[in-house]
Amino acid sequence: MARLAVVGVGRIGGEVAYLATSLGIVDELVLYDCDPGLLRAQVLDLEHTGLQIPISTDVSAIRQSDICIFSAGMPRNPSVKTRADLLETNLSATRDCISLLKGFSGILVTVTNPMDANNFVLWKKTGISRERCIGFGGQLDSARFGLALRNRGITGFPFVFGEHGEHQVPYFSGLASAVDIRQREEILTELRGASMEVIKGKGGTVFGPALHLAHLTRIILKDAQELIACSAVLEGEYGLSGCSLGVPARVGRNGIRKIEEWDLDEWERKKMDEAGRFVKDLCERAVS
């Protein structure tokens, strides 16, 4: 039996709960939200699907869950320029929910933006090992990178390092052909603004994040040890520490099994160092 907890059951949290159950990835749900009306509505909506799956709203059951998707807080909207701008707003939600995770022995997946900083805070304040704290965002950024490449007729394995935000680092070294600096910067600019058109048109991103989160849940529960882009608390990897940042990692039943250190070219190394400095500053502010 696999139990999934979702803390914050709004747009993305609710959709992940639905996908994980409808796709047969989990057998039980534990749902929590600070808005009791929304929580009740999401529970009823799931029950009305006819899927016969136990749904608990008992917060103590979170601690016995295999995976917890942490998506509490405010989402981006058209007035929020970058994910980092949500730091102060969403830190209060993160801090309010830390007590729910005391004694949690499963895998924590952080979604709340700014994701990298919140993943670091949750690791620092809950006592959960860094291997069991996975920040979500790199899978989605990598999918967007793949779309940008296909639209330009460029082939290769799309992978994004760095911050889930303005300081993301597309990994051009893994592509089949070289991409010059001008085109790299053009693609990076496109990736930075990829979500905003969706946010302006429909209020927020849903399909992409939810599908990749469901896939990540499956990877963990099946102990697939699949290589994905995710945010991990770093202790010297890529020459960085004191932050959580997007890197390639093998993920399985026990969380992050291995962080892989790939060679970066000069452009990528510079961008990665910039991402590290920026996110480390956010993390220091968040835990101070």
Which of the residues are catalytic? 164
Burial 120-158 (b: 16+ CB within 10 A, else e): bbbbbbbebebbbbbbbbbbbbbbbbbebbeeeebebeb
In 3D, which of 233, 13, 273 has the Cα closest to residue 121?
Answer: 233
Helix (H, G, I), strand (E, B) or coil at 248: strand
For residue 16, the tally of other CB atoms under 10 A from its CB is 30
Q: At 75, which amino acid appears?
A: P
Distance of alpha carbon 202 from alpha carbon 195, whole angstroms: 11
Longest dimension (CA), the chain: 54
Number of H helices, E strands in the chain: 9, 11
